[in-house]
Amino acid sequence: MQKLRIEGGVPLSGEVRISGAKNAALPILCASLLTPEPLFVENIPHLRDVTTTLGLLAQMGVAVSVDEKLGVELCARELTHRVAPYELVKTMRASILVLGPLLARTGEARVSLPGGCAIGLRPVDQHIKGLQAMGAEIAIEHGFIVAKAARLKGTRIVMDLVTVTGTENLMMAATLAEGTTVLENAAREPEVVDLAQCLNAMGARIAGAGSDVITIEGVPRLHGARYRVMPDRIETGTYLVAAAVTGGSVRLRETRSDILDAVLVKLAEAGAKIEKGPDWLWLSMRGKPRAVSVRTAPYPAFPTDMQAQFMTLNTVAEGTAVVTETVFENRFMHVQELRRMGADIEVEGNTAVVRGVPRLSGANVMATDLRASASLVLAGLVAEGETVVDRIYHIDRGYECIEEKLTQLGARIQRVN
């Protein structure tokens, strides 16, 4: 199993390019199921989840051709196999994103029910309820969601809670439904907007994405398109924290500064100096960060996918911070590993109290999920001595060439077997 070995103590400095967003790329790749014409997608990151999605689509009959430099062309002329098997869904929960498009395009879909995962139970009841409201017949059989519908019908759906992939699944399904669908209490995440823009480029009629009411006027068919995936705001935030926690200075290019407000405000509160342009960000931190309390919630509030990284920042900050996780019920798996590196963190329910310590000390630690892994790498960058992060297949799900990018910024980091 591969590991990352990090020699801590180097303030990061330099410039890196931010990759395309995982959480926008995955639904956009799945949107190819909605049309028999080719969809060409640019700025696709090289990630394990992307490879898994391309494999899943290919086994359904989608012709996939990858040009390492230009992008990916997907053509779902005929869909021979309308199943997402357990073996793939268990490695990547976002596989659920094929449910809506498959059902809308072909009238049937069999998708393995995703189980719980390290960060929480993560049920998909809102996806199922929404499709049922649009007229689908859905049964759970042998661990699969088995969905059928001659043609979905537009309707008003008020979601019980804000769900990102739930909103995306229903939005994709509604593009080919008969009549108009109104999604209320929809997720406002920028990745939902990116997907809506791609679908509109394919001939869909979606209005209101980015607000909590999305209206989709169904059309009989969608056509091919060319679309460029937005930059990854979580990767961006992670490199900003890497600079802040090591007392360094980085410039990030090919990113967006307009969708990171909640994170930038917290970094400024921690004492970082930040400058920004439309497609770049620069951050510099002198000395230690100040402790900053964060509370996660759906966009535009502070993202749960940045919680673990801010936990690391607070472990070496001046003062005490309170980190509250309201989106997932079990997203503090990094705490016990950070403690092994000398962090002072107490957890009570969904709240962690982090008291800054003078220094962390390098240790062997285990990654348990994607962002927990990122927080351990950040801890390794600032710790005294050597840190070895095990089970980094989690980090390869969501960070493109992490050790190369960090090396570019001066970090002493190596991938080892």
Ligand X SMILES: CC(=O)N[C@H]1[C@@H](OP(=O)(O)OP(=O)(O)OC[C@H]2O[C@@H](n3ccc(=O)[nH]c3=O)[C@H](O)[C@@H]2O)O[C@H](CO)[C@@H](O)[C@@H]1O
Ligand Y SMILES: C=C(OP(=O)(O)O)C(=O)O
Binding-residue pattern over the window 355 to 394 for ligand Y, x denoting contact by CB under 6 A: ---------------xx-----------------------
Rounded to whole angstroms, how far apart are CA atoms 154 and 174?
A: 7
- 362 touches 384 (CB < 8 A): yes
Residue 124 contact among ligand X, ligand Y, none, beta carbon within 5 to 8 Å by kind: ligand X
- DSSP assignment of 94-148 equals GGGGGHHHHHHHHSEEEEEPP--BTTB----HHHHHHHHHTT-EEEEETTEEEEE
251/334 with CB nearer ligand Y: 334
| Residue from 4, 16, 18, 26 binding ligand X (CB under 6 A) | 26
| Residue 126, marked binder | yes
Rounded to whole angstroms, how far apart are CA atoms 351 and 347?
A: 6
Rounded to whole angstroms, how far apart are CA atoms 347 and 261?
A: 27
Helix (H, G, I), strand (E, B) or coil at 196: helix
Binding-residue pattern over the window 57 to 96 for ligand X, x denoting contact by CB under 6 A: ------------------------------------xx--
Name 348's Cβ contacts closer than 8 Å, sequence gap at least 6: none
Residue 70 contact among ligand X, ligand Y, none, beta carbon within 5 to 8 Å by kind: none
Rounded to whole angstroms, how far apart are CA atoms 11 and 126?
A: 44
82 binds ligand Y (CB under 6 A): no
Catalytic residue among 30, 75, 117, 198: 117
Residue 398 contact among ligand Y, ligand X, none, beta carbon within 5 to 8 Å by kind: ligand Y
Helix (H, G, I), strand (E, B) or coil at 191: helix
Say whether 117 is catalytic.
Answer: yes
256 binds ligand X (CB under 6 A): no
Residue 127 contact among ligand X, ligand Y, none, beta carbon within 5 to 8 Å by kind: ligand X
Report in angstroms how near the CB of residue 235 gets to ligand Y at its nearest. 10
Binding-residue pattern over the window 162 to 181 for ligand X, x denoting contact by CB under 6 A: -xxxx---------------
52 binds ligand X (CB under 6 A): no
Residue 215 contact among ligand Y, ligand X, none, beta carbon within 5 to 8 Å by kind: none
Torsion angle, CA of 244/278/202/56, rounded to 10 degrees? -20
Name 248's Cβ contacts closer than 8 Å, sequence gap at least 6: 10, 11, 12, 13, 242, 284, 285, 409, 410
Q: Where do we find the tokens 């398109």? A: 225
Q: Which amino acid is at 355?
A: R
23 binds ligand X (CB under 6 A): yes
Residues near ligand X, by CB under 6 A: 23, 26, 93-94, 120-127, 161, 163-166, 191, 304-305, 327-328
Residues contributing to the annotated binding site: 22-23, 93, 122-126, 305, 327
Residues near ligand Y, by CB under 6 A: 23, 93-94, 305, 370-371, 398
